[in-house]
Amino acid sequence: MSAKRRVGELNRRITIQKLGPVQNEYGDWVEGWTDWKRVWASMEPAGGREYWQSEKFNAEANGEIEIRYQSDINPGAMRILYKDRVIDIQYFYHPRERRDRTRLIVKEQISKEVPLINEESNEG
């Protein structure tokens, strides 16, 4: 990403969620996700991988998300929602130690169950 970012490049609306106590339908307090901030961002893919595990197809997509400066990001207890995607924050930093933007290093997990093929049904 370039050193100077034009406002138009922050063209994706994301929601940052926090992990913490939430009240369930029975009135009990449990750990869950709540919306923390809704901000404009730019998103850039950085690679990924695909693999099989426990009869599931899995994929990881790595990338970077840039937002206006936020000093209170907590990678272990925050995540990103973008459309129908859930994206984990792995790390963050402030480019050139300036207080004008924050760059988030992120990973998105994608799992899909694949039905087993019945070998008997494929025979004659």
Position with higher pLDDT, 116 vs 100: 100
Give one word for 90, left, alpha or beta, with left for phi > 0 and alpha for psi -120 to 50: alpha
Residue 63 lies in a domain: yes
Domain CATH number, residue 84? 2.40.10
Domain region containing 92: 8-23+30-112
Out of 21-30, 62-71, 103-112, least confident range? 103-112
Position with higher pLDDT, 96 vs 39: 39
Residue 69 lies in a domain: yes
Question: What local confidence, expressed as pLDDT, does residue 2 receive?
Answer: 46
Residue 122 lies in a domain: no
Separation of alpha carbons 19 and 62, rounded Å: 21
User: Mind listing the pLDDT tens digit for each residue in 50-101?
Assistant: 666 566 777 788 899 999 999 999 998 999 999 989 999 999 999 888 889 9
Residue 80 lies in a domain: yes
Number of compact structural domains in the chain: 1
Residue 64 lies in a domain: yes
Question: What local confidence, expressed as pLDDT, does residue 115 receive?
Answer: 57
- Write the burial class of residue 91 (CB in 10 Å: 0-12 exposed, 13-18 middle, 19+ buried): exposed
Q: Which residues pair with 107 in a beta bridge?
A: 62, 88
Residue 117 lies in a domain: no
Residue 47 lies in a domain: yes
Residue 16 lies in a domain: yes
Portion of the chain with pLDDT greater than 90, in percent: 56
Position with higher pLDDT, 36 vs 112: 36
